[in-house]
Chain A
């Protein structure tokens, strides 16, 4: 099977090369049969990569430690669940997953466009195939997952314990699906630029592909945060690590693109900007992979580092040069005259929204690469960590939240005074009232928190008012029950109302993060069995400290009984420090008791089981529960917007929107 896997990779390499060459030839000669041939090559490459993926899984399942990758990332004691998940624990498997996912995206795009967009597809196919060729090339030579060892070790080194979390089945896969998914808008953008089909056909064709890529990346980022929170044990979910930042960059430009593209669909404007964002998002996806894999900047994700960084940065530069060159070439046609009727309109607020998203992306990018820049310019190493990013990004983020409230309520083309008064009087009153109440409650001690929460209240009020107005209008016209009206708001216009749901999720998440950052309690204590400690409204008693052993690890576990302030038992919390025989560092299992109000987060720092003593760290993290709720609301909204609907329904809806705007 290992030989079959290796052969499949080489075959996929040849097929992707063929797909690229034949596709380019077909596109230049405008011969449909060659374009179809290139599409066939991409499909065959997808099949080959599927075989390669199955072969790698087979090697893992059969514990074939003669394969270097299998020996490095699994062991005989590793459960089947994590043995299968070890596929993408290291670089060769990750690249195989990347290429496999890209080939499947390619098959999906080819199937979707089998009878339409043929002129565009003539160029989309070689671009997709070319990117596929690039990744398979890395897979075939510098990073071969099927490389044999000169000997067969009796056991493997095992999977990094920090990766032994259910997140291993969600975070990496969704991250790749997100990163790779942005290849589709890039390919269509290149095709539109080459062919001169610069209207909104390509934009409409890739809208859902982009949305799903954005959703997957969002899921990946959220689960990465959740994973860090439960597994790393420092009490946070986002550390502004370079690799985390790298995932945020395409997410930010992708979000900007998803907003600005609406202007192109509805008003035929911002064409230059949209192609720039499509190229930038793809290039930043490659750049993120480069940062993850190259190790040029110190990162807590050092386990992911490897030797393919040079190839990835070259790929990034190539993508920027190709996209940038084509944009420069088509600039005169892209710069169509348009008119914005008023500076106070939906369109102008979208411009501001894009400005802020790109400014945040730039700030994150600049902070992430600044250590390299400083070293190159001054020869001095500097670090850029959370204090910098929080100081720079927080005000921009707050401005985005405020804009979330303003933007959807402004009329297209020109907002009248009546429109402003009608839409904003109530939400602004709600925001002001929230600010007043919070100022009284906190005696004005936390102005940043008050501002953020009041802005969040304003945004929630705008969304609630929108739903109320929409439901009321439907009820008046159709005499529907309120629940039916509300449901039909979604089914008739999922893009708009799903978008509002996403906005609600963002606001909930931002408010929760603000509360957590402002009011977390942190305490440490060394306790003997039987000792109690009070933190926040909890009383914790150390019930036991024991050393235990399994075939894979031995660990020290502290069990604490938790009571509330009135002495009512709330259950037990367990926290561990584990030592894996095949790994270099101990790992922490955090004890978490989560409620909608706050998380009690207990970390075992050290222990002496013989003496029944444990050194513990206690965090009371308010509102963290709502971070995850906000995240899931964002996902729910995203799925509502991206859920497939018939092509005809999409077209009718698009025309309806255009007519509304025009009117």
Chain B
């Protein structure tokens, strides 16, 4: 779970004191905004439109730190600065009046398609979306063919059951009687 490319890579030579200082700085940097707002309330499923839109964007962006998580996941799981910056950029784009889809398009233009958590449904990327269902269709066709090939004779009679020797039958019946 090493984050390649992340800026948060403290130098081991700093020792515990250096660590403490750096950690405090990191913590302070992110905690500065408003705090102590009395008793704000969050109702399930009733997030404000702005935060809902931001969440919709960050869940569809891949963090560029190399972790392959979405920005939403990486920000929390890895305390990742790259993810935080991307989230800030997403918030700025939404504040500028972009819709989530437009914000995602803008990210793709600026950083390439790899920043999107799902390949855009156009061009060669369509194969990513379509091929699994084409394969399923082809498989269904094969199953249908197999069912037709293995269908009973046209007379409609059932095929004879596999042969079971009288000894086997007797042995099994004996077992059934004995075991209950």
Contact = CB atoms under 8 A, between A and B. Distances in A.
Contacts of B1: 160, 162, 232, 300-303, 585
Interface string A641-663: 00000000000100110110111
B117 A388 contact: yes
Interface string B122-152: 0111001101110110011001001100111
A384 B27 contact: no
A370 B113 CA distance: 13
A248 to B, nearest CB: 14
Interface string A351-364: 11001101100110
A577 B45 CA distance: 28
A298 B9 CA distance: 19
Contacts of B59: 386-387
A242 interface: yes
A1 B34 CA distance: 59
Contacts of A268: 162
Contact of B77 (A233, A525, A536, A554): A233
Interface in B1-60: 1-4, 6, 8-10, 12, 15-16, 19-20, 23-24, 26-31, 33-42, 44-45, 47, 55, 59-60
Nearest to A541: B39
Interface stretch (A276-284, A458-466, A613-621): A613-621
Nearest to A163: B1
Nearest to A529: B36
Nearest to B178: A652
A235 B76 contact: yes
Nearest to A338: B150
A588 B77 contact: yes
Given A526-B33, A652-B175, A386 B168 contact: no
Interface string A509-546: 00000000001011101111001111110010000000
A380 B139 contact: no
A534 B73 CA distance: 23
A566 to B, nearest CB: 15
A413 B8 CA distance: 63
Contacts of A343: 147, 151
A658 B158 CA distance: 17
Given A300-B68, A374-B125, A523-B42, A388 B172 contact: no
Contacts of A302: 1-4, 66-67
A348 B147 contact: yes
B28 A341 contact: no
Contact of B161 (A340, A363, A549, A663): A663
B62 interface: yes
A582 interface: yes
Most buried by B among A359, A519, A549: A359
Interface in A559-592: 577, 579, 581-582, 584-586, 588
A614 B31 CA distance: 7
B76 A366 contact: no
Contact of A303 (B2, B24, B180): B2
Counting chain B residues whose Cβ lies within 8 A of the other chain, the interface size class is 35 or more
A267 B10 CA distance: 64
Contacts of B38: 531-532
B110 interface: no
Interface in B62-113: 62, 66-70, 72-74, 76-79, 112-113
A443 interface: no
A531 B44 contact: no
Nearest to B44: A521
Contacts of B159: 339, 341
B96 to A, nearest CB: 22
Contacts of B66: 298, 302
A655 B163 CA distance: 12
A425 interface: no
A483 interface: no
B76 A234 contact: yes
Nearest to A241: B68
A370 B28 CA distance: 40
Interface stretch (A53-61, A67-75, A322-330, A601-609): A601-609
Interface string A387-414: 1100110001000000000000000011
A114 interface: no
A168 interface: no
B146 A656 contact: no
Nearest to B65: A298
A340 B117 contact: no
B119 A388 contact: yes
A544 B144 CA distance: 65
A470 interface: no
Contact of B40 (A242, A363, A519, A533): A533
B51 to A, nearest CB: 8
Interface of A: 160, 162, 232-236, 239, 241-242, 267-269, 297-303, 338-341, 343, 348, 351-352, 355-356, 358-359, 362-363, 366-367, 370-371, 374, 377-378, 380-388, 391-392, 396, 413-414, 478, 488, 492, 519, 521-523, 525-528, 531-536, 539, 547, 549, 554, 556, 577, 579, 581-582, 584-586, 588, 603, 605-609, 613-615, 617-618, 620, 652, 655-656, 658-659, 661-663
Q: Return the 7 tightest CB-CB contacts between A and B, nearest first.
A: A385-B117, A363-B132, A606-B30, A526-B35, A339-B159, A381-B114, A662-B161
13 contacts: A303-B2, A363-B135, A366-B131, A383-B113, A388-B129, A392-B132, A522-B47, A531-B39, A533-B39, A609-B24, A613-B36, A655-B168, A662-B164
Interface of B: 1-4, 6, 8-10, 12, 15-16, 19-20, 23-24, 26-31, 33-42, 44-45, 47, 55, 59-60, 62, 66-70, 72-74, 76-79, 112-119, 123-125, 128-129, 131-133, 135-136, 139-140, 143, 146-147, 150-152, 158-159, 161-162, 164, 168-169, 171-172, 175-176, 179-180
Given A232-B77, A382-B116, A613-B36, 7 more contacts: A302-B67, A384-B119, A385-B70, A526-B31, A526-B35, A531-B38, A613-B35
